[in-house]
Structure 1
Amino acid sequence: MKKLLKTGLIAAIAATCFTTSNVVAREAAMNEKHAAAATEYRKALFQLVRSNMAPLGGMAKGAIPFDQDVIATNALRLEQLADMMSDYLMVDTRKFDVDTGAKDDIWENWSDFEGKVANLKSAAENLSSVAAAGDESKYRAAIGQVGGACKGCHDDYKAD
């Protein structure tokens, strides 16, 4: 019975955290373990962004041929990943010694950070539209917009 009550309490707390996460702009990590896990998850998210950007960058530079299917697939993935960014960066890990590339400014300028994430999503949506239209003459510019959105965030919020 105690185990069932404890499990129910944990589930209720988790549900509350998930349902209120859209209301609260950010939350402080509860402990070192929480901060380390949050950092690990956001690094995984950005690895996925990087893996989807790499072929797009190669196409924009002319290093590999344009491939409409890859552009469409990766643009959609980048839209989806952008949707997750605020959630995965919501946990403020500044109080703990974790290996992170995130600058403290993310949590100090949360609304600006979210605006930069929105710019990425918008640029990825545009790239999806360009890919769907199949107009190869517009690929390079649309990919450049996505790269520019990434750079805009990196310049302000990613430690070198």
Structure 2
Amino acid sequence: MKLSKTLVICTLVLIADGVLAGDKELVDYRQNVMHVIGGHMGAIVAIVKGEVPYNDDLAYHADALAAAAPLAVPIFKQQAMTDKSHALPAIWEDWDAFESAAKTLEETSTAFAAAVAGGDRGAIGGALGKLGDSCKSCHDDFTEEEH
């Protein structure tokens, strides 16, 4: 009985925490997730360009990026802005376009991970180009330059 009561209390605290999160916390979380995506993309580019000697890590970064990409939609569902936010209001004003761009990120990151797993350098380069285009498109339309 005591364990059930503890589980209920913990569950309620976790639910309340999500419901009561303020803009700062939501933006911080969102930025942390986007930094994860960007960090893996930066590592991927450095490896593919031959700037770092970590070719064996390429599959790890490709898989991690593909695993993180589906978070792009849920982390923006609730509109939250602070002076540190780089998100443009266009995300929520044209949610369908944003969701489509995020879906493209999912698709291109998954395709890139598959290309890396296949080992064909030409396919890897082509898939990386499409992945980069999907990142750029979303940043062009929905992200403010860092201030």
TM-score above 0.5, yes or no = yes
- Give the whole-Å Cα distance in 2 for the aligned partners of 1:60 and 1:116: 24
Could you say which residue in structure 1 is the equivalent of 2:132?
Answer: 147
Unaligned runs of 5+ in 1: 19-28
Partner AA of 1:81 in structure 2: A
Question: After the TM superposition, which residues 93-112 of structure 1 pair with which residues of structure 2 at under 5 Å, given as runs?
Answer: 93-94=80-81, 97-112=82-97
- Give the whole-Å Cα distance in 2 for the aligned partners of 1:156 and 1:144: 18
Partner AA of 2:38 in structure 1: R
- Give the whole-Å Cα distance in 1 for the aligned partners of 2:54 and 2:129: 14
Structure 1 residue 62: deviation in Å?
Answer: 4.2
Tell me the TM-score normalized by structure 1.
0.74
- Specify whether residues 149 and 66 from structure 1 end up closer, same or farther in structure 2 by C-alpha distance, changes over 3 A only: farther
Contact 2:47/2:58 (8 A) holds in 1: no
- Cα RMSD for the two superposed structures: 2.9
CA deviation digits over 1:111-132, x for unaligned, max 9?
1111111101111111111111
Could you say which residue in structure 1 is the equivalent of 2:36?
Answer: 48
Structure 1 residue 66: deviation in Å?
Answer: 7.6
- Give the whole-Å Cα distance in 2 for the aligned partners of 1:11 and 1:148: 42
- State the secondary structure of the residue aligned to 1:92: coil
Q: Does 1:39 find its partner at 2:27?
A: yes
Between 1 and 2, higher relative CO (CA 8 Å, sep ≥ 6) is seen in 1
Structure 1 residue 60: deviation in Å?
Answer: 4.0
Structure 1 residue 13: deviation in Å?
Answer: 9.2
Could you say which residue in structure 2 is the equivalent of 1:124?
Answer: 109
Partner AA of 1:107 in structure 2: W
Tell me the TM-score normalized by structure 2.
0.80
CA deviation digits over 1:11-69, x for unaligned, max 9?
29928xx8xxxxxxxxxx97xx61010000011011111110112212344434682x4
Report which stretch shifted further, 135-144 or 42-51.
Answer: 135-144
Structure 1 residue 72: deviation in Å?
Answer: 1.9
Could you say which residue in structure 1 is the equivalent of 2:59?
Answer: 72
Report which stretch shifted further, 55-64 or 134-143.
Answer: 55-64
Question: How many pairs were matched up?
Answer: 139
